């Protein structure tokens, strides 16, 4: 989306000289990104999944307070100080935002799959 809006990183993505501007948007990017780049992305996601984004509450040996409880002590936004009603409301808001984001990205993926072009608004022209 940022590339489509005209924001590109300067320089090259690998030692072979592939520029960031040579990588297309959408599904076409998978064919152009070097294999080592794909491996690096997969390794980064694996590190996050196995080491950092644990589904448990801080200082808790077992599972978290609720599914998706990724508190790990790095940031504290005062979750424990909220009332139970506020916690339920905030979790419902977060779930709905996640659902809306999934529908949005699926719409962009379908546009790219159908006609090879992703329209993200007049500011991208």
3-class secondary-structure state, position 12: strand
pLDDT tens track of the chain, all 125 residues? 566 666 777 888 888 888 888 888 777 888 888 888 889 999 999 998 887 777 665 556 666 677 777 776 666 778 888 999 999 999 999 999 999 999 988 988 888 788 877 666 665 55
Predicted TM-score (pTM) of the model is 0.59
- Beta strand extents in the chain (DSSP E only): none
Considering the chain, what is the average pLDDT of its residues? Answer: 80
Taking the CB of residue 71, how many other CB atoms lie within 10 A of it? 19
Taking the CB of residue 4, how many other CB atoms lie within 10 A of it? 18
Give the dihedral sign, CA 25/28/44/97: positive
């Amino acid at each position: 989306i940022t590339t489509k809006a005209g924001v590109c990183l300067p320089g090259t993505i690998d030692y072979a000289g592939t520029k960031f501007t040579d990588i297309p948007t959408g599904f076409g990017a998978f064919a152009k990104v070097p294999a080592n780049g794909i491996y690096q992305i997969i390794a980064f996601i694996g590190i996050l999944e196995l080491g950092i984004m644990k589904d448990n509450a801080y200082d808790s040996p077992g599972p978290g307070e609720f599914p998706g409880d990724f508190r790990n002590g790095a940031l504290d936004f005062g979750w424990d100080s909220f009332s139970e009603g506020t916690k339920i409301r905030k979790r419902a808001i977060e779930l709905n935002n996640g659902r809306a984001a999934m529908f949005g990205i699926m719409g962009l993926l379908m546009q790219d799959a159908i006609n090879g072009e992703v329209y993200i608004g007049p500011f991208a022209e």
